[in-house]
C-alpha cells in the first residue's frame, strides 16, 4: 500500500456517476468504444421511431381522418423493416464479436494469480513464486472497518491487503470460490469473472497505467455481500519485484 504514497490515482465510483470509470486496460477501452457505437444506433433508431409515432398520432387522429384506412398489407414496407434491422445487427456484430474473442483470449501470461472468494473476503495466491520452504505467496484480503479508515480512504472499498500487480504485463487470474457463488469484478479493468465453488474460471488483464483500482463482489453471496471489496494496485515492475521479495522473506 506504500508504493503509490506520493501520488495516488483512485479508480472508484463517484457520487452521482452515470458513466464509465476511466479505462485502464485495452479490454475496458474496447467496452467503452462498443458502448458508444451502440448508443449511436440506439439514438438514431429512437429518433426515427419517435418521429414515426408522432406522425402517426397526428395524421391518423380522428379529426384528421374521418374515414378509416382499409390498407392491411404492404410487401415493400415489410421487406424494408425486416432487412434494415438485420443489416444493423450485422454491423453491430462485427465489433462485439471481436471484443468477445479478445476478452476470452489468454496471451502467454507472465504471472498467474489465483483468487478465491469466501464469505465474506477474498484470498490471493501467487503460485509462480516459492519461498525457501517451498510455499507460495498467499494472503487474505479483508475490508477495513469504517472506524479504522485513514483520511482519504474510501468507505466500504478499502482492504487491508491489496492485490499488487505490475503494469504493462500480461496477467492471468484464476477465479474460484470456497463456499457460495461470488463474482470478482473491477470496472476500470473491464473484468467481471464469476467465482463458482468446484470450478476454475480464468480471465486476463493488461493494465496500462499505475493506479489503485476498486471493485466489489458482484454476485449476491449472503448477508455481508456488500462488505467484500476488491482492490488492485498496479505498480511499476521494480516496485512489484520489491514487494514479491518482501513477501517471500516474511
Instruction: Please determine, for residue 17, whether its predicted confidence score (pLDDT) is greater than 50.
Output: yes
115 and 98 share one domain: no
Percent of all residues in the chain with a pLDDT value above 70, rounded to a whole number: 96
113 and 226 share one domain: yes
Choose the final residue of a domain: 78, 104, 130.
Answer: 104
Contact call for residues 11 and 214 (beta carbons, < 8 A): yes
* pLDDT at residue 229 in the model: 95
Choose the final residue of a domain: 82, 104, 126.
Answer: 104
For residue range 163-173, list pLDDT tens digits in order: 999 999 999 99
Contact call for residues 178 and 117 (beta carbons, < 8 A): yes
Residue 1 domain-assigned (yes or no): no
Range of 148's domain?
A: 10-14+108-249
In this prediction, residue 26 has a pLDDT band, given cuts at 50, 70 and 90, of: very high
* pLDDT at residue 130 in the model: 87
74 and 189 share one domain: no
Instruction: Please determine, for residue 209, whether its predicted confidence score (pLDDT) is greater than 50.
Output: yes
150, 152, 155, 161 alpha-carbon torsion, rounded to 10°: -60
* pLDDT at residue 8 in the model: 52
125 and 97 share one domain: no
Residue 170 domain-assigned (yes or no): yes
The total of other beta-carbon atoms located within 10 Å of residue 121's CB is: 19
Residue 44 domain-assigned (yes or no): yes
Residue 20 domain-assigned (yes or no): no
Residue 19 domain-assigned (yes or no): no
Residue 204: in which H helix or E strand, if any? strand 201-205
In this prediction, residue 63 has a pLDDT band, given cuts at 50, 70 and 90, of: confident
Least confidently predicted of 58-67, 216-225, 241-250: 58-67
Enter the pTM of the model: 0.82
131 and 176 share one domain: yes
Residue 21 domain-assigned (yes or no): no
Residue 227 domain-assigned (yes or no): yes
32, 34, 39, 40 alpha-carbon torsion, rounded to 10°: 120
For residue range 84-106, list pLDDT tens digits in order: 999 989 988 888 988 888 888 87
Provide the CATH number for the domain around residue 56: 1.10.287.90
Residue 192: in which H helix or E strand, if any? strand 191-195
Choose the final residue of a domain: 104, 137, 161.
Answer: 104
* pLDDT at residue 30 in the model: 92
127 and 66 share one domain: no
In three-state secondary structure terms, 92 is: helix
174 and 220 share one domain: yes
Overall domain count for the chain: 2
37 and 85 share one domain: yes
* pLDDT at residue 170 in the model: 93
85 and 201 share one domain: no
77 and 129 share one domain: no
Instruction: Please determine, for residue 9, whether its predicted confidence score (pLDDT) is greater than 90.
Output: no
Amino acid at each position: 500500500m506504500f508504493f503509490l504514497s506520493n501520488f495516488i490515482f483512485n479508480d472508484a465510483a463517484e457520487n452521482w456517476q452515470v458513466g464509465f470509470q476511466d479505462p485502464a486496460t485495452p479490454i475496458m477501452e474496447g467496452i467503452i468504444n462498443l458502448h458508444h457505437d451502440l448508443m449511436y444506433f440506439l439514438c438514431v433508431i429512437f429518433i426515427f421511431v419517435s418521429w414515426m409515432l408522432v406522425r402517426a398520432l397526428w395524421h391518423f387522429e380522428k379529426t384528421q381522418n374521418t374515414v378509416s384506412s382499409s390498407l392491411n398489407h404492404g410487401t415493400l414496407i415489410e421487406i424494408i423493416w425486416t432487412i434494415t434491422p438485420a443489416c444493423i445487427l450485422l454491423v453491430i456484430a462485427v465489433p462485439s464479436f471481436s471484443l468477445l474473442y479478445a476478452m476470452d483470449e489468454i496471451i502467454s501470461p507472465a504471472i498467474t494469480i489465483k483468487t478465491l472468494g469466501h464469505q465474506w473476503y477474498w484470498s490471493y495466491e501467487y503460485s509462480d513464486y516459492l519461498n525457501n520452504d517451498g510455499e507460495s505467496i498467499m494472503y487474505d484480503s479483508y475490508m477495513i472497518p469504517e472506524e479504522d479508515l485513514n483520511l482519504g480512504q474510501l468507505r466500504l472499498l478499502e482492504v487491508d491487503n491489496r492485490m499488487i500487480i505490475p503494469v504493462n504485463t500480461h496477467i492471468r487470474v484464476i477465479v474460484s470460490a470456497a463456499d457460495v457463488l461470488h463474482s470478482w469484478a473491477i470496472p476500470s479493468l473491464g473484468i467481471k469473472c464469476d467465482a463458482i465453488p468446484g470450478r476454475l474460471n480464468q480471465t486476463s488483464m493488461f493494465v496500462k497505467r499505475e493506479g489503485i483500482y476498486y471493485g466489489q463482489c458482484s454476485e449476491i453471496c449472503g448477508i455481508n455481500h456488500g462488505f467484500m471489496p476488491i482492490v488492485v494496485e498496479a505498480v511499476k515492475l521494480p516496485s512489484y519485484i520489491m514487494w514479491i521479495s518482501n513477501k517471500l522473506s516474511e
